[in-house]
Amino acid sequence: MTSAGVIVEYNPFHNGHLHHLNETKKAANADVIVAVMSGSFLQRGEPALVDKWTRTQMALKNGIDLVVELPYVYATQKAEIFAKGAISILNSLGVDYVCFGSESGDIEEFQETASFIEMHEKDYNERIKYYMGQGNSYPKASSLAFESLEGHAHVLDLSQPNNILGYHYVKAIQAQNALIEPLTILRTKAGYHDQDFVDKRIASATGIRRELFKGSSLDQIQAYVPEPTYFELTNYQRTYDSFQGWHNLYHLLRYKLLTSSNVHLSSIYEAEEGLENRLATMAKQAQTFQSFMELVKTKRYTWTRIQRLALHILTQTSKNDMLPALENKDAPYVRILGMTKAGRSFLNERKNSLPVPLVSNINQFDHPFLTVERRASHVYALGYSGFHQEVFLQKEHKSVPIMID
């Protein structure tokens, strides 16, 4: 069986994702597609629009064969750590290919860039530090540092978000000596940051979420998502009334910020340079998450950087909790969220050679990362009203993986 991995958030699964999935199957000539998917919280420091179980359903019904979870400790991190976790999990599963979308579309550009930066690593890191010292955000400084390296080949535009991620995937494959061949597919139509509907069939997930948060009817986004997504979102909305977002959790963040000592806040991951105290001060004034973010925002700190810190404060994720994700080379387990028949065959083929435990039920396995995961899930659940909390937590704590034919 030829297998390919994709690294996804599916927040929610839309036509662009379907396009990428179909192209991946072709490019890798794959029998099985494995998705490493973020759980309750996402890379930009946001709660997922719909819970991980619903998103797993969407993925499986749209053609993914096996969905495994990218743990919170990787999923909510900057590209480098995010990529390390995702690649390590795909490597444990022994997939043949990983295929990512990019603005470049040319895998050789990534490989050359990774080799080039590796050769100039010390210089590159010093330049990043320099540009950050000038008051630039980390992504901006990385891009400027790369551009300023002599002979930087001009091949890859590292100011593009999917190119950055792709670069880190390729770099992680090299660093882990993973037997995975990277492939890339040119992203079409909707850019990552485009919030408008630029085409009749393809819209970014950000644009779709914006429509949903505006309170638009699901009909408004129907053209941009495959049928199984529309079905799942309709079901979800009928069950939970509203979609999950920071607006459902801000009251808890605010409570936390208003009651925590500076010493405690400074123990939280990503609490640096007193940014955490700025958050605490602004929480006193701000009644909504939107106004809170606008008060906190400065040139130095990106929206994402602030949201991630806010998220780690909300979920009480400390520097200590994150340390193993930063220091260790490999992800310590693979948690299965769901699979099709083909996914099951693939797992049966692989399971005896897996270098780490395969986890179906988090109550039958323990690891410090799962303590963080459980806490994050509990917090995510508190964004729902009473009865629905239970429904979600039952799924999270008692479910075996979702199986579909």
Note the residues at the interface with a copy of itself (CB under 8 A): 251-252, 254-256, 258-261, 284, 287-288, 315-316, 375, 378-379, 382, 386-387, 389-390, 393
Q: Looking at beta carbons only, is 159 or 389 nearer to a copy of itself?
A: 389
Give me the least distance between CB of 71 and a copy of itself, in Å please. 17
Give me the least distance between CB of 373 and a copy of itself, in Å please. 13
Q: Looking at beta carbons only, is 188 or 316 nearer to a copy of itself?
A: 316
Closest by CA to 82, choosing from 44, 132, 32, 131, is 44
Give me the least distance between CB of 389 and a copy of itself, in Å please. 7
* Rg, C-alpha atoms of the chain: 20
Put residue 115 in one of left, alpha, beta given phi > 0 → left and psi -120 to 50 → alpha: alpha
Q: Residue 251: helix, strand or coil by DSSP? A: helix
Residue 11, C-beta contacts closer than 8 angstroms, at least 6 positions apart = 38, 42, 48, 49, 50, 55, 205, 209
Q: Looking at beta carbons only, is 237 or 389 nearer to a copy of itself?
A: 389
DSSP symbols for 135-190: T--HHHHHHHHHHHSTT-TT-S-TTSHHHHHHHHHHHHHHHTT---EEEEEE--SS
Measured between alpha carbons, how far is 60 from 54 in angstroms, rounded to an integer? 10
Give me the least distance between CB of 397 and a copy of itself, in Å please. 9
Give me the least distance between CB of 278 and a copy of itself, in Å please. 17
Q: Looking at beta carbons only, is 107 or 379 nearer to a copy of itself?
A: 379
Give me the least distance between CB of 48 and a copy of itself, in Å please. 18
Closest by CA to 318, choosing from 327, 306, 309, is 309
Q: Looking at beta carbons only, is 178 or 286 nearer to a copy of itself?
A: 286
What are the distances in angstroms from CA 65 to CA 98, 182, 225, 340?
Answer: 14, 19, 19, 5
Q: Looking at beta carbons only, is 155 or 382 nearer to a copy of itself?
A: 382
Give me the least distance between CB of 120 and a copy of itself, in Å please. 42
How far, rounded to the nearest angstrom, does the alpha carbon of residue 47 sit from its chain's CA centroid?
A: 10
Q: Looking at beta carbons only, is 177 or 261 nearer to a copy of itself?
A: 261
Q: Looking at beta carbons only, is 272 or 390 nearer to a copy of itself?
A: 390
Measured between alpha carbons, how far is 161 from 172 in angstroms, rounded to an integer? 17
Give me the least distance between CB of 375 and a copy of itself, in Å please. 6
Measured between alpha carbons, how far is 32 from 64 in angstroms, rounded to an integer? 8
